[in-house]
Chain A
Amino acid sequence: MLNVRADRDRCVSSGQCVMTAPDVFDQDEDEGVVFVKNAAPPAERAADVRQASVMCPAMAITVTEED
């Protein structure tokens, strides 16, 4: 299982995470700031979730592995 966190203060609303893993990330209506829909996605989502973390221009997303 993965542990996903997003720093809303760092977010610049690029939307890359939403495009990369729409089951895990979304944007609020008001300013498009990230929120994590699913903070504990299954391990099979690792590739997309890590890609989202790499793509984030504000480096606001952290992903760790947990059992």
Chain B
Amino acid sequence: MSRSLTELPDQAPEDVPRYPMPRAERCPLDPSPELRALGDAGPLTKVRLWDGSTPWLVTRHAEQRALLGDPRVSADTLKDGYPQQRPGMMARRSRSRSFIAMDDPEHARLRRMVTGAFTVRRIEGMRAGIQRIVDQFIDEMVAGPRPADLVSAFALPVPSLVICQLLGVPYADHEFFQSVSRTLINSNTPVDTVLEKQGELLEYLDDLIGRKLAEPGDDLLSRVAAERVATGEMTRRELGAMGLLLLIAGHETTANMIALGTFALLTNPDQLDLVRGTDDPKLIARTVEELLRYLTIVHTGRRRVALADIEIAGQVIRAGEGIVLPGEVANRDAAVFADPDELDVSRDARRHMAFGFGVHQCLGQPLARVELQVVYGTLYRRIPTLALAADPATIPFKHDSIVYGVYELPVTW
């Protein structure tokens, strides 16, 4: 498959900067300095991906909003010119494509089959149960040895258990799907392994769905199986693909926000004091939005391809050209957020792009918000002397992952 390199007039292909760029080791919570410099050069520039393709890079908040909300911009991963995250994504996606990789009307049709489970009211109803889970894992952690690894003791199990309960996946199998998830999220995993692991998880989910069709439980997979698969509106395979998306997205992201958010607060003690010392749920809610903005853990760029010529910021994106939109840079746009590189838990950060924008904006965001509100509102009050048990410079960050975070976070109290 040949790709035409569309280059800027005075730039040879080999001069087009390679993307993604790693975050700086010394400032692991800030976007890559090279990426920011590119953004400073102009609202639209070109970058070069792993396969030599050169999609447009869009870094400012305003243009990201405009493009992600434009119906001429496609999220269909099977389209020519779609900027793939890494080799093998095409094969992987065509096997288990979920609605995240489709455009309307097919995307809307499938998404609406599960949105009822994620309403603000329904998720709010889960708050007390989430609080119990959070308290339970804190109890277990503080009863155990110091130092502890916050990732394995708390950050990963809490959202895993919550999403398992919501979906109806047995938590007893969590080691299996957590290991699959780790493999799928890591950019360095070879294609064969990705396909193999994904296949295992799809088989597991298909088996589970089969059992739920026979004997439904009170959970999302049972309800959707009974309401949509049994009626023929959705295939069993489509539900499996959806289940895989929800399972991985439902715990991997929140787990990383918990661990990385804790790192951010422990290394910004004045902000930690505000969070730990408050009774005000509104301040906790603002803290969640600010940490979502400041950290932007989904950080290898939203990927899109233009379906028609689009005029924007004095340029023309031609039909068939790829577009990469890094949320972590838009979330530090000084035109939208004053002193954007400051972590300020009392600011109004609600316009952030951490959940994306447009019709694909994160389906699970109400659940993520409630989970993070409970976690940030509980962890530091219950363990007021929580501290890092290692030099921050030694903490291993997930530089090679589509979802940013830390592999482990040694803490003590």
Contact residues in A for B112 (Cβ distance below 8 Å): 13, 31, 33
The reply on B385 being an interface residue by CB < 8 A is no
Q: Which residue of the partner chain A has the closest CB to B359?
A: A12
How many Å from the CB of B285 to the closest CB on chain A? 9
Which B residues from 102 to 141 make CB contacts under 8 A with A? 108, 111-113, 115-116, 118-121
Q: Please name all residues of chain B whose beta carbon is closer than 8 Å to the beta carbon of A19 when the two chains form the complex.
A: 120, 366, 369
Contact: B69 with A13, CB < 8 Å? no
What interface size band does chain A fall in?
A: 10 to 19
Residues of A within 8 A of B351 (CB): 54-55
Task: Give A1 to B361 CA distance when docked, in angstroms.
Answer: 31
- Would you call B116 and A31 a contact (CB within 8 A)? yes
| 16 A-B pairs (CB sep. < 8 Å) | A12-B360, A13-B112, A13-B119, A15-B118, A15-B119, A15-B365, A15-B366, A18-B119, A19-B120, A19-B366, A27-B121, A29-B116, A30-B116, A32-B116, A33-B115, A55-B351
- Shortest A64–chain B CB gap in Å is 20
Given contacts A18-B120, A19-B120, A58-B358, contact A31 B115 (CB under 8 A): yes
Given A18-B119, A33-B112, 17 other A-B residues pairs in contact with their CB atoms under 8 A? A12-B115, A12-B361, A13-B111, A13-B115, A14-B365, A18-B120, A18-B121, A19-B120, A27-B121, A29-B116, A32-B115, A32-B116, A32-B118, A55-B350, A57-B357, A58-B359, A59-B69
A57 vs B365: C-alpha distance when bound (angstroms): 12
| Binary flags per residue of A42-60, CB closer than 8 Å to B gives 1, else 0 | 0000000001001101110
Q: Are A57 and B120 in contact (CB under 8 A)?
A: no
A-B contact count (CB 8 A): 58
B356 interface residue, CB < 8 Å from A?
yes
A59 to B69, CA, bound (A): 8
Q: In the bound complex, what is the Cα–Cα distance between A19 and B368 (angstroms)?
A: 14
Most A CB contacts (10 A, CB to CB) among B118, B358, B363, B366 go to B366
Q: How large is the interface on B (under 10, 10 to 19, 20 to 34, 35 or more residues)?
A: 20 to 34
Contacts of B113 in A (CB 8 A): 31
Q: Is A51 a contact partner of B350 (Cβ separation < 8 A)?
A: yes
* Assembled-state Cα–Cα distance A13/B111 (Å): 9
Give, as a whole number of angstroms, the nearest-CB distance from A23 to chain B. Answer: 13
- Beyond A15-B120, A15-B366, whether A57 also contacts B358 by CB under 8 A is yes
Question: A14 to chain B: which residues have CB within 8 Å?
Answer: 361-362, 365
Say whether B119 contacts A57, CB under 8 Å: no
Q: From B118, B359, B366, give the contact of A57 (CB < 8 A).
A: B359
Point out the residue from B119, B359, B360, B366 that lies within 8 Å of A29, measured CB to CB: B119
Q: Whole-angstrom distance between the alpha carbons of A10 and B116 in the complex?
A: 16
Enumerate chain A residues within 8 angstroms of B357, measured Cβ to Cβ: 57
> Which B residues between 319 and 377 are near A, CB-CB below 8 angstroms?
350-351, 356-363, 365-366, 369
A29 to chain B, nearest CB (A): 7
Cα distance A19–B365 in the bound complex, in angstroms? 12
Expressed in whole angstroms, the Cα–Cα distance for A30 and B116 within the complex equals 5
- Other-chain contact of B119, A20, A27, A55, A58 (Cβ < 8 Å): A27
User: Nearest A residue to B69 by beta-carbon distance?
Assistant: A59
Closest chain B CB from A50 CB (angstroms) = 12
Enumerate chain B residues within 8 angstroms of A12, measured Cβ to Cβ: 108, 111, 115, 359-361
- A9-40 vs B, CB cutoff 8 Å, 1 = contact: the mask equals 00011110011100000010111110000000
In the assembly, what is the distance between CA of A27 and CA of B121, in Å? 8
What chain B residues lie within 8 Å of A57 (beta carbons)? 69, 356-359, 361
Give the CA-CA distance A21 to B67 in the complex, in Å. 26
Contacts of B116 in A (CB 8 A): 13, 29-32
Report the separation of the CA atoms of residues A49 and B363 in the bound assembly, to the nearest whole angstrom: 22
Contacts of A54 in B (CB 8 A): 351
Which listed residue (B118, B350, B360) contacts A13, Cβ 8 A? B118
Give bound CA distance, A58 to B356, whole Å.
11
Chain A contacts for B121, CB-based, 8 A: 18, 27
A27: nearest chain-B partner, CB-CB: B119
Nearest-Cβ distance from residue B144 to partner chain A, whole angstroms: 36
On chain A, the residues within 8 Å of B111 by CB distance are 12-13
Q: Nearest chain-B residue to A25 (Cβ)? A: B120
Residues of A within 8 A of B350 (CB): 20, 51, 55
Smallest beta-carbon distance A7→chain B, Å = 12
Minimum distance in angstroms from A19 CB to a CB of chain B: 6
